[in-house]
Structure 1
Amino acid sequence: MARMKFICDAERCIECNGCVTACKAEHDVPWGVNRRRVVTMNDGQPGERSISVACMHCSDAPCMAVCPVDCFYRTDEGVVLHDKDICIGCGYCSYACPFGAPQFPANGTFGLRGKMDKCTFCAGGPEASGSQAENEKYGRNRLAEGKLPACAEMCSTKALLGGDGDVVADIFRTRVLTRGKGSEVWGWGTAYGRPTQSGQSPAKEGTKS
């Protein structure tokens, strides 16, 4: 059985927020909630990197451990979901999660508490797959349709990978082993015909061939 996981390649993320927009549009996410967000480290400084963050569907999820009403559960594919009919909105999961995945919807002027909301890996909820009730509470169940999460499919640079953990890990491992340095992380030298593998050095800007 596949174990679903996310990996974000910080060398490829360009902070376009396409994943955030895709998630909100796909699931009509409640106001004030971002099931996925892009975090930038060392902003404007050397070594700046961005990474897309959401629920990581942990194998030993702290949100499940602290929930006093056991509204969290794990599917056969390793996706961590929660039952909004059981949730009491205590917020313990929000404090326990290192990724800040469970969030309160901003209901009303002062952001009144309600049922927690979080990334579902596009796997819906406890209601019947594809049902109207499931769609209204948790969004579209893409996994039941044989599709990957919308955020990963919409990533323009394929920085965000989602799917079978073994497959995703193999893709990322291959990238790390084969990509070059600097512009070659993106393959620009190949795209613009600059030789890098034939023993020649790439042409420098401003020089004549």
Structure 2
Amino acid sequence: MARMKFICDAERCIECNGCVTACKNEHEVPWGVNRRRVVTLNDGVPGEKSISVACMHCSDAPCMAVCPVNCFYRTDEGVVLHDKDVCIGCGYCSYACPFGAPQFPSQGAFGVRGKMDKCTFCAGGPEESGSEAEFEKYGRNRLAEGKLPVCAEMCSTKALLAGDGDVVADIFRTRVVQRGKGAEVWGWGTAYGARQKGEGPGQGPHKPKEGVSS
């Protein structure tokens, strides 16, 4: 059985927030809750990176460990979900999660505590798959329809990958091998191809020297 996982490629994420918008629209997420958000590190300085963050559906999920009513459960695909009918809204899971995935829905300027809400990997909830009750509480069950999470499908640069953990890891590993790492990723070779001896900036293979016909 496939174990579903997310990976976000920080070298490809352009902070467009398309994944955030797609998630809210697909599941009609309540106001004040972002099941997915984009976090930018070193904003505005060299080395700036952005990454799309949501529930990572941990193999050893801390939210499951601290929940006093055991409303969290794991599906056969490794997706961590929760039962809103059992949830008491204590917020322990919100404090335990390193990704801040479980959130309180907010109503009005100051918010009102209620049942916790979190990313479902587009796998719905404990209700019957595709039912109106499931959609109202958890959003659309795309996995039951044979589809992947909408956030990954809508990512314009394919920075966000979702699906079978082994397949996703192979894709990311291939990218790293092909593009290199660190300074190699956005170096001269990436932008202009191999730099020839004696060529300066602006004189690579894609921009001929002055006086030389293309």
For the criterion TM > 0.5, the same-fold answer is yes
Aligned to 1:86: 86
With over 3 angstroms needed to count, the CA separation of the structure-2 counterparts of 1:34 and 1:98, relative to structure 1, is: same
For residues 25 and 43 of structure 1, the distance between their equivalents in structure 2, rounded to whole angstroms, comes to 27
For residues 112 and 73 of structure 1, the distance between their equivalents in structure 2, rounded to whole angstroms, comes to 25
Q: Is the 1:107–1:114 Cα contact (8 Å) retained in structure 2?
A: no
Residues 1:68 and 2:72 are matched in the alignment: no
Aligned to 2:56: 56
With over 3 angstroms needed to count, the CA separation of the structure-2 counterparts of 1:74 and 1:147, relative to structure 1, is: same
Aligned to 1:96: 96
| Aligned AA (1:162) | A
Q: Is the 2:195–2:204 Cα contact (8 Å) retained in structure 1?
A: no
Q: Is the 1:101–1:119 Cα contact (8 Å) retained in structure 2?
A: yes
Aligned to 2:133: 133
For residues 202 and 2 of structure 1, the distance between their equivalents in structure 2, rounded to whole angstroms, comes to 45
| Aligned AA (1:160) | L
For residues 33 and 188 of structure 2, the distance between their equivalents in structure 1, rounded to whole angstroms, comes to 36
Aligned to 1:203: 205
With over 3 angstroms needed to count, the CA separation of the structure-2 counterparts of 1:198 and 1:157, relative to structure 1, is: farther
Cα displacement (A) at 1:112: 1.1
For residues 154 and 176 of structure 1, the distance between their equivalents in structure 2, rounded to whole angstroms, comes to 22
Give 1:182's match in structure 2, choosing from 179, 186, 191. Answer: 186
Larger radius of gyration: 2
With over 3 angstroms needed to count, the CA separation of the structure-2 counterparts of 1:128 and 1:58, relative to structure 1, is: same
Q: Is the 2:188–2:194 Cα contact (8 Å) retained in structure 1?
A: no
Deviation digits for residues 140-183 of structure 1 (CA, Å, limit 9, x no counterpart): 00000000000000000000000000000000000000015316
Calculate the TM-score normalised by the size of structure 2: 0.89
Q: Is the 1:42–1:48 Cα contact (8 Å) retained in structure 2?
A: yes
Equivalent position SS for 1:38 = strand
Aligned to 2:145: 145
| Aligned AA (2:171) | I
Aligned to 2:8: 8
Aligned residues: 203
For residues 162 and 183 of structure 1, the distance between their equivalents in structure 2, rounded to whole angstroms, comes to 28
Q: What are structure 1's unaligned runs of at least 5 residues?
A: none
Q: Is the 1:20–1:36 Cα contact (8 Å) retained in structure 2?
A: yes
With over 3 angstroms needed to count, the CA separation of the structure-2 counterparts of 1:206 and 1:111, relative to structure 1, is: farther
Aligned to 2:160: 160
Equivalent position SS for 2:111 = coil
With over 3 angstroms needed to count, the CA separation of the structure-2 counterparts of 1:176 and 1:104, relative to structure 1, is: same
Calculate the TM-score normalised by the size of structure 1: 0.91
Tell me which stretches of 4 or more aligned residues in structure 1 moved more than 3 Å.
Answer: 194-209
Larger deviation, residues 97-106 vs 172-181: 172-181
Q: Is the 2:7–2:168 Cα contact (8 Å) retained in structure 1?
A: yes
Q: Is the 2:22–2:150 Cα contact (8 Å) retained in structure 1?
A: yes
For residues 113 and 5 of structure 1, the distance between their equivalents in structure 2, rounded to whole angstroms, comes to 29
Aligned to 1:173: 173
For residues 20 and 139 of structure 2, the distance between their equivalents in structure 1, rounded to whole angstroms, comes to 14
Equivalent position SS for 1:128 = coil
Residues 1:47 and 2:55 are matched in the alignment: no
Aligned to 1:28: 28
Equivalent position SS for 1:182 = coil
| Aligned AA (1:182) | W
For residues 127 and 86 of structure 2, the distance between their equivalents in structure 1, rounded to whole angstroms, comes to 13
